[in-house]
Structure 1
Amino acid sequence: MRTALVIGTGLIGTSAALALAGRGVRVHLVDHDPAQARTAAARGAGTDQAPEGRVDLAVVAVPPAHVADTLAEAIRGGIARAYLDVASVKGGPRRELEAMGCDLTGYLGTHPMAGRERSGPMAATADLFEGRPWVLTPTRETDTEVLNLALELVALCRAVPVVMDADAHDRAVALVSHTPQLVSSLVAARLQDADETAVRLCGQGIRDVTRIAASDPRMWIDILSANPGPVADVLAGIAADLDETVTALRALESSDEEQRLGGAAGIEDVLRRGNTGRSRVPGKHGAAPAAYETVTVLIGDQPGELARIFADAGRAGVNIEDVRIEHATGQQAGLIQLMVEPTAVTGLTAALRDRGWAVRQ
């Protein structure tokens, strides 16, 4: 791949352009808002000048509602050897293109499983896709050259290719991406009119659950509008679980011992199913989640403290497998949770205490 055209210079399009440009591909940028394309170009993502001839690959990175029309125009214009999109839904756009009578041998639907709460070219980064799954949805009609160019794009972005059927992809992202966004927003919405005293009690749990609720509503309306059925199906299952959970909680208020036992059993069932589901979420390097132990340390909110504690762990010969920080309300300090192999806990704890860290049991 020597040349590429990125149509749509938001977070995903500009990030892909930055990755390609950084690896020697001449990238041309176009957007319905020329100022946004100029911003992406100024960041080193390519040039906002039109290509002189046909490019090797056209990457359509526009909202799902506009994918089919944008692709159809590009395909009919013959602007590239191959065409792909990066929308978060795959079945709908392809069916729209088929209905338009487009030749789809040169098209491949893709979806990089990466993103941020922020949007636009200023939020883009060349390493956004590194190590992340990038779904490819080829069909029998997909030309081999197109698939090869798509695989080259994924490799240049240092992502991991995953081949799926388009409709299976849409059902999957409804479960693991689209529904979590709505559930996070629903929980965060409870805080809107909550008493300030309650809000001040927010800890790491509520922060974890509501993190993605900070996402751009306009972007998510576009995404959900393109995949409403599968998302509604998942939410219907959650709604049924919620109804049963509410019934179980009401039973715990009962004066009848049998009802209370039944309520406790209902709560235990949903919690245990949650344990089982959580255990299936891939852990480090895509493997099954490991049973790490946590070493909790009080850390000050000053420059260099994180680097210092990681360096001290390194000197102790301990690899930090994961890390979380819980900030203390109204204080210039917090608790850092270092996840390590169980066999490393004793040695790390002793080493950190020797170096003056306040390790919490």
Structure 2
Amino acid sequence: MRADSPRTAVVIGCGTTGTSVALALTAAGVDVALIDEDPRATAEAVAIGAGAAWTARRPPADLVVVATPPSEVVDTLYSAQSRGLGNVYTDTAGTKEIVSAEAELRGCDLKGYVPGHPLAGPDAPGPDAADAGRFAGRPWVLCPYETTPDWALGTVAALVELCGADRLDLAPHVHDRIVAELSHGPHLVAAALSTRFADSSSAFLGLAGQGLRDAVRTAGGDPWLWSDVLAHNAGPVADVLERISDQLAGAAAILREGDDSAPLELALTLEEGRRGEAALRQAGDLRTTRDARTGRRV
């Protein structure tokens, strides 16, 4: 264990992400306390070995992890700092630019706060899908402020290491553009596609192939949690959706016109899509993000 590794921690939010963080820290020998506004979620996390329920008798922890939806992060952070729950703070929210800016405007103590986001899938209510190995080999983005001191950044970097993830430092706006392209935009596209089947008969849907099922799989996420994330990354997500809708509108126009050149024009889009699928598949074969070569576009 590195010198700046936390020995005590408080995890606020016992959803999938928060409980997974707590399980990983507990497995590494960290004394973890758990807080959730739903006592049942706390009790369930305690029952699977994620830590103990927090009590006011506990001294300030080395690290506090705020694992709540984006809209709740700043209020939770401000309250935790006001109560003196710990020395260093971080969060796991899927958006960073608004959260980082609001924390500064709210008057949170930025010296001890390092915004973060483990890229290991969306959170879900309750700890049912929690797993100590959830972050192993996955990127964990940190978005430190220019004034973040080394001691705070070191503690959060140690958290990333204890969870088995790969640290990646990004500016908040760059992080939000990336997740809009790779996660948030595709989720809305999958949801829009899935709406066409919400009231279809099982006999009809039984004819669907695995390709369609794979394409809409992410639409099964919790709509309230996802809507909170999307609203906090509105601009970049809208940009992604507009580009995709332009492509689809162009394809629809080609098909409507029915010119002899339609197959060739459609093939250009399909070929670009094939190249994109191949690039994603090859990237999925990388063992860690450090194996990746720098691309031309973020």
- TM above 0.5, yes or no, is yes
Offset of 1:91 from its aligned partner? 0.8
| 2:74 maps to 1:75 | no
User: Hey, what does 2:273 align to over in structure 1?
Assistant: 274
CA distance in 1, matches of 2:127, 2:77: 21
Rounded to whole Å, the distance in 1 between the matches of 2:81 and 2:99 is 14
TM-score (norm 1): 0.75
Q: In structure 2, which of residues 30, 33, 42 is the aligned counterpart of residue 28 of structure 1?
A: 33
Structure 1, residues 6-28: CA drift from partner, whole Å, max 9, x if none?
Answer: 01110100000001011110000
Shift of 1:288: 7.0
Preserved contact between residue 279 and residue 288 of structure 1 (Cα < 8 Å): no
The answer to whether residue 13 in structure 2 is matched with residue 2 in structure 1 is no
Match of 2:93 in 1: 87
SS in 1 for 2:9: strand
Is it true that 1:247 corresponds to 2:276 in the alignment? no
* Structure 1 residues 206-228: Cα deviation after superposition (integer angstroms, max 9, x where no partner): 11101111111111111112111
Q: Is the 8 A contact 1:117 1:214 kept in 2?
A: no
Aligned-residue offset at 1:78? 2.5
After TM superposition, list the pairs within 5 Å mapping 1:315-330 onto structure 2: none
Which structure 1 segments of 5+ residues have no match? 290-361
C-alpha RMSD of matched pairs (Å): 1.8
Q: Which runs of 5+ in 2 are unaligned?
A: 1-5, 294-298
Give the 3-state SS of the residue equivalent to 1:122 in structure 2.
coil
Taking the aligned partners of 1:95 and 1:113, their CA distance within structure 2 comes to: 21
Decide which of 98, 119, 131 is 2:104's aligned counterpart. 98
Amino acid at match of 1:129: F
Tell me the distance in 2 between the aligned counterparts of 1:144 and 1:117. 29
Look up the SS of the partner of 1:16 in the other structure. helix
- 1:331-342 map, 5 Å: none
Matched, 1:260 2:260: yes
Provide the rounded CA distance (Å) in 2 between the counterparts of 1:25 and 1:119. Answer: 24
**Alignment-derived partner of residue 42 in structure 2:** 37
Tell me how far 1:102 sits from its aligned partner. Answer: 2.3
CA distance in 2, matches of 1:155, 1:195: 48
Query: Offset of 1:116 from its aligned partner?
Result: 6.0
| Aligned partners of 1:244 and 1:266 also within 8 Å | no
CA–CA separation in structure 2 for the residues paired with 1:192 and 1:225: 24
CA distance, structure 2, for counterparts of residue 116 and residue 109 of structure 1: 17
What residue is the counterpart of 2:3 in the other structure? none
Question: Does the 8 Å contact 2:16/2:123 carry over to 1?
Answer: no
Instruction: Specify which structure has the higher proportion of strand.
Output: 1
Distance in 1, matches of 2:226 and 2:256, equals 34
Q: Distance in 1 between matches of 2:181 and 2:241?
A: 9
Does 2:284 correspond to 1:283?
yes
Q: How many residues align?
A: 282
Q: Does 2:150 align with 1:144?
A: yes
Deviations 1:96-141 (A, max 9, x none): 1111122201101110011268542122111111111111111211
Inter-partner Cα distance in structure 2 for 1:122 and 1:196: 28
The TM-score normalised by the length of structure 2 is 0.90
